[in-house]
Chain A
Amino acid sequence: MNAERPLHLWPSICLSAVLCAVLPAGRVAHAAGAAPSVWEISPYKIHFMLAFAPEPELTPRLRQQVEARVLERAEKVVGAGWDLSIEAAPAEIVPGMLRSLARLPIEDLPAMLVESEVDKLILAVVRLTDRGGYEIEARDYDLHARLTGSPVVRPVPQRELLADEVFQAVLLAFAPLARIDDVEDKQVKLRLRAGSLPTIDPEISFTGPGSVFRAVRRFNDREGKLRKLMPIEWTLLVVDQVQVMEAEVACTIYSGLRSPLTGRSRGRDERLAMLVRPTGGTTQIELQSRMLGDDPKTVRPLAGYAIYAHPAGAPQTTLIGRTDGDGKLAIPADASPVRILLVKHGGEPLARLPLIPGLEPHLKVEVADDDQRLLAEGIINGFQERFVDLIARRQVAFAQIRARLEESKPAEAKTLLDAVRGLGRQEDLINEIRIQKQQAVSDDRRIQKKIDKLFDDTQEVVIRYLNSTEIDKLESEIAAKLKGG
């Protein structure tokens, strides 16, 4: 195929004309009063780039055939939603493509590609396998949201099936983009790009309940060019319902942030969401402490932190494991695509992180260094247990003293009371708490506050429960009995 000659599926045809020509009347209908905006009726401008591994079997003629088939199938299956054209992959990215699309991030693409006017790049690669078959890998690079979709890999046993399978891979790799329209507490409404341009094949649906989107904020300049991009981390939107006619998708938001999405897309501030597909496999998370000030030396791996998980929407948590000496732990995929990770240290929840395992091989997580607090909690905990024993001992002894008094044995009661005095004094315990508190120091002010509270609360308990009121009372009773003979 001639790489210089782009093949356009939708040359310069007026959008409205397309709508009239392609869409059946019934399927164009919108809810009364909800006229589609340009967003919903704007097709994706997609450049499709195919690379073949340098194998004798993978001839240029075969590539032409495949490309032509992809174009043909896109037209017949997807229809108006895609403005797909075939482009030759720039030579500098071909080696990276052939190596692995999963390891080819959007940042590695040439600027002229990324800054082009198209909405998406769909890259596909065909390789030979050791068993004599073929392997197709395809991936969606959304140039508007600057996000990548999940790579799709499909094995193909026969050459004859290659063209159709490449199209299937493209179809699976395609990740629709949506605009975040409305956010209300945990509920989000998305508006799908080209959502009002239904696919010709009604069986094809790019999203449905359970699908997952991830969010990004795009700040544009006056000319609509990208000024800044802000991925909204640790935030996933899980689809609850899809209103096909309105191109509207209702989602529940799962986020590790307090207010990840506020307001709605307006003007130059676009809030976007792109579909992600679970790929299976694992993601290794690396837990490290938050940087204090600007000192990178304060960042250290957090070892021994417990990671629990529960599926999105289900409360049953299970312990996945504890971070190793480097603060790392592999999170495997589960039946549910989204796993909500809970990072805990002792009784303290430190972070809540939604994650699609396998989507990224490695993720760094910054949380507060909680070691000093847990250390203090352990000390307090041990202290409290001993304190409970002490109080129990005193109560047992008080009961015995009262029994002696009732039996008119004040001398024995006095001996027992003297023994109670030796069990532990309030001043000694408070002093012990003070010493321990002085030693429990954290550089993190928030953590220090928690530590101080632990010690202060314990001191309060000691003051409340270990006082001499009961002893004084018994002492008077004993004295009275002794006097009375």
Chain B
Amino acid sequence: MKDPRNTNAGYRPQRGATAFLRLLYAAGVALLCTAVSPCAWAWQAAETEPVVTIDEGVRRFFDQEEFDEIILNDENHTSVRVQPISLPKRRPIDPTSFKKGQKLIVRQVEDPTEDYEVKWGDIAEIKLFEYVVLGMARDLVRQGKDDPAKFDEAYDYFDFLKQTHPNVEGLSAAVADYLYEDAGHWHRLEKYENALGLLNELYALDPTYAKLPAALGATTQKLIEPYLAADDYAGARRVLGRLAKKFPQSSVVTKFQEQWANEARQLIAKGREQIASGAARQAWETAQRVLYVWPRSTDAAKFFEEIYAAWPRIVVGVTLPWPPAEQPRLGNWATRRDGRLLHRLLVEFTGTGAEGGQYVCPFGQVERTDIGRRLIFRLKRDIKSSTDGTRLTGFDVARQLLALGDPQQPGFEPTWADLFGGVSVQDVYQVDTELRWSYVQPLALLETPVAPLKAGAAPSAIGPYVLAETKPGETHFLASTSYFAAEPGQPKEVVELHLANSADCWSALERGKVQLIDRLAPWEVERYRANREFVVGQYALPTLHCLAPNMERPFMQHRCYRRALAYGINRELVLKHHLLRDQPLAGCQLITGPFPIGNGFDDPLRYAYNSQVEARERNPRLAIALSQVALHDLSEAAKKRGDPEIKDFPKIVLAHPAGDIAREVCKGIKRHIEAMKFSVELRELPAGITVPTDKEYDLLFLEITAQEPLVDGARLLGPDGLLGQASPYMTLALVQLAKATNWQEARQILQRIHQITVDDVAIIPLWQMPEHFAYHRSMKGIDQKPVLLYQSIERWRGTVRVPAEE
């Protein structure tokens, strides 16, 4: 039995055997009660809480040596204390049920060495010790109604009996009464969570206790009230749910369920009015409220269908939210993903062909002529860029091409600046672009948004959606009314719901809270595939995971130190154990450089990969030796400068994006580096951020989408790239790559770049990771192997699902 007194704030800890138990109980009840808040007992008025004290000095009845008491039927009703009488079953004895002459052999407490014989005919009554204790406990419970301190005393009696005489007849009933009465006492004091704890214990002891349903109902009601006052319906439902589980027919359960169902009905009526008045988007808010108030509403499903028909809306669960600050497209999943919603690019990557990426112009056609020295854009004439009817013209494209080569503009592309020879516009919609040499794939440089210039206004991007409100955990995109490629039935709104981890993703998709998950954790792919309700798709492009050293840190500037870290990490183990959880996943491979390895030798995506480069296998001894070289060099350099000697390695700060893929990887890497006696601190970046603007890290975990090594090489490894620094050898190779005029030459240089990356340890390459997404089978129109999630958003069609209650 647990000690209910510990719910009392005035309770003082006691000495003795039960103290430890009480402590445990205190912890248990406290936990139980954290979910509920104080309220009031129903059937009696509240009292002022008395100060409950226990007189520690008083010796309790059961503390003495156990004895039974025989009351003789002589004139004086002499009482004899005897040692506990040995009976087949110790229960109250009726002396008259024995023959008068029959003898009972006992030993007196005062003289335990001698046996005494007492005739049953001489015995008026036998008081068995434990039953005396039980009787006293009951008395204390009765007294407790007036003096709550007695409840605490009673507890000790019951506890004694539970420990030493658990089979005493009537003990359970007595304890049940005690719990009930004590709960009543707490209820009167408006300590409803204490009362609930006791009533739950009573339920565990005797679920058929007659007065329990009413008492539990009253307490639950009191506990629900503050939740409702704070508009916390989920909390209120949780509390009521516990009662309903025990007593489904409880009037309290029925009352609240009816109340909430009624509220939901009113909300649905309001929502229907909103739909009728053309405010369907607001009706979604009302629908959310319906779910919040009463998810089991029978009308909800139909109501949701009505809203969806009026305002098709897709809710996508995303693992990386829309970044709060600008992030590089190469290294930020969300920027790439949502870019397709917000703006169409002048040319868009559609896949990898025999010679690099393949591109199309969504605004018309693009053609390469004059042995690759000229690009001609032929624009469609009906590309609206805004609601006022402004149309995209060749002048807008020409302006963008000029801006791309202007170092003062944000989207400056250095290779394009060199390559760009000039531009002219013919007949308003044809753009002729001169190139200064025949670059292998100039279109790869032109993945840039086109924003027509509007007099007196900021340029507006041409995209299917516009960014609406963003709030913590939620980003809303509204369909652009002037989008040139909009299709009938296209979702009018896309809501991105940030889900912090893979467990949340699964739960959200399963419960219908979201219709699609944009990125699956690799260890979850098979689980999703196994669910018939879900469809799993794979992106056309894998990501490459790597660690980018911060070259501003002195130790990171030392190549031996960077190599030491590379040798210190067991990449295979991290990949197989941490990311794949020892399950195979096709396309998942270790890499030695900055480019994708593809899915085999004939995979065109592999064109930049140098298979001759040897992988750095884990070698802790070599790692330690190399790190010592770095330490020695830096220490000597410090001495020469007159700086204090460097004796120890600094702590390594490993920064990583928020999300459980990065978290898992970095946890594994940390463990391996720490095995070399380095100290490692993990730094989780704010949600949405993958490349911090500060340089407060030594290593940064990067996930790069491997699209076109020809241009991604410079964007990652170039002096103005993601890493921010490049060795002269890398710079030279990138300059030569920019000048390459045929694919054979470009491939050779890219493979040299791969080798230089390894030699320089410009990054610590980890592995190539195929990326997957999953959606509910009710969704239609989603490409099975898209480059970008939203690349066919215009054709997405959904069926509304009413999210299930959590």
**Residues of A at under 8 Å CB distance from B?**
303-304, 306, 322, 324-326, 345-347, 371, 374-375, 377-378, 381-382, 385-386, 388-389, 392-393, 395-396
B559 to A378, Cβ gap below 8 A? no
**Cα distance A421–B733 in the bound complex, in angstroms:** 34
Whole-angstrom distance from the CB of B360 to the nearest CB of chain A?
A: 27
Set of chain B residues within 8 Å of A347, measured between Cβ atoms: 728
A392 to B759, Cβ gap below 8 A? no
Checking B417, B719, B736 against A322 with a beta-carbon cut-off of 8 angstroms, the contacting residue is: B719
B417 to A392, Cβ gap below 8 A? no
Set of chain A residues within 8 Å of B560, measured between Cβ atoms: 388
Q: Would you mind naming 6 contact pairs between A and B with Cβ atoms under 8 Å apart?
A: A325-B417, A374-B729, A378-B756, A382-B760, A388-B629, A393-B622
Task: Kindly state whether residue B7 has any CB partner on chain A within 8 Å.
Answer: no
Task: Kindly state whether residue B93 has any CB partner on chain A within 8 Å.
Answer: no
A325 to B419, Cβ gap below 8 A? yes
Checking B622, B629, B735, B758 against A304 with a beta-carbon cut-off of 8 angstroms, the contacting residue is: B735
Task: Kindly state whether residue B732 has any CB partner on chain A within 8 Å.
Answer: yes
Beyond A385-B759, A389-B563, A393-B619, whether A378 also contacts B732 by CB under 8 A is yes
Set of chain A residues within 8 Å of B729, measured between Cβ atoms: 346, 374-375, 377-378, 381-382
A-B interface, 6 closest residue pairs, ranked by CB to CB distance from nearest: A325-B418, A378-B729, A382-B759, A346-B728, A304-B735, A303-B735
Q: Of residues B626, B732, B738, which shows the largest number of chain A Cβ atoms within 10 Å of its Cβ? A: B732
Contact with A along B705-749 (1 / 0, CB 8 A): 000000000000001000000011101111110110000000000
Set of chain A residues within 8 Å of B622, measured between Cβ atoms: 389, 392-393, 396
Task: Kindly state whether residue B503 has any CB partner on chain A within 8 Å.
Answer: no
Range, interface on chain B: 20 to 34
Set of chain B residues within 8 Å of A374, measured between Cβ atoms: 728-729, 732
Beyond A389-B622, A392-B622, A393-B619, whether A378 also contacts B759 by CB under 8 A is yes
Task: Kindly state whether residue B438 has any CB partner on chain A within 8 Å.
Answer: no
Set of chain A residues within 8 Å of B629, measured between Cβ atoms: 388, 392
Query: Interface majority SS on A: helix, strand, loop or mixed?
Result: helix
B414 to A324, Cβ gap below 8 A? yes
Set of chain A residues within 8 Å of B719, measured between Cβ atoms: 322
**Cα distance A396–B628 in the bound complex, in angstroms:** 13
Task: Kindly state whether residue B755 has any CB partner on chain A within 8 Å.
Answer: yes
Set of chain A residues within 8 Å of B675, measured between Cβ atoms: none
Closest chain B residue, CB of each to CB of A391:
B625
**Cα distance A304–B749 in the bound complex, in angstroms:** 15
B418 to A324, Cβ gap below 8 A? yes
Whole-angstrom distance from the CB of B749 to the nearest CB of chain A?
A: 11
Set of chain B residues within 8 Å of A386, measured between Cβ atoms: 759
Set of chain A residues within 8 Å of B739, measured between Cβ atoms: 303, 325
Checking B418, B621, B625, B759 against A326 with a beta-carbon cut-off of 8 angstroms, the contacting residue is: B418
Whole-angstrom distance from the CB of B471 to the nearest CB of chain A?
A: 42
Set of chain A residues within 8 Å of B419, measured between Cβ atoms: 325
B626 to A389, Cβ gap below 8 A? yes
Set of chain A residues within 8 Å of B758, measured between Cβ atoms: 382
Set of chain A residues within 8 Å of B760, measured between Cβ atoms: 382
Closest chain A residue, CB of each to CB of B415:
A325
Set of chain B residues within 8 Å of A385, measured between Cβ atoms: 559, 563, 759
Contact with A along B596-640 (1 / 0, CB 8 A): 000000000000000000000001011001100100000000000
Closest chain A residue, CB of each to CB of B732:
A374
Whole-angstrom distance from the CB of A143 to the nearest CB of chain B?
A: 40
Given contacts A325-B738, A374-B728, 4 further A-B contacts (CB under 8 A): A303-B735, A322-B719, A324-B418, A345-B728
**Cα distance A326–B415 in the bound complex, in angstroms:** 11
**Cα distance A388–B738 in the bound complex, in angstroms:** 32
Set of chain B residues within 8 Å of A324, measured between Cβ atoms: 414, 417-418
Q: Of residues B414, B415, B729, which shows the largest number of chain A Cβ atoms within 10 Å of its Cβ? A: B729
B732 to A371, Cβ gap below 8 A? yes
Checking B415, B417, B619, B756 against A382 with a beta-carbon cut-off of 8 angstroms, the contacting residue is: B756
Contact with A along B519-563 (1 / 0, CB 8 A): 000000000000000000000000000000000000000011001
**Cα distance A304–B736 in the bound complex, in angstroms:** 9
Contact with A along B233-264 (1 / 0, CB 8 A): 00000000000000000000000000000000
Set of chain A residues within 8 Å of B733, measured between Cβ atoms: 378
Set of chain A residues within 8 Å of B559, measured between Cβ atoms: 385
Set of chain B residues within 8 Å of A388, measured between Cβ atoms: 560, 626, 629
Whole-angstrom distance from the CB of A343 to the nearest CB of chain B?
A: 12
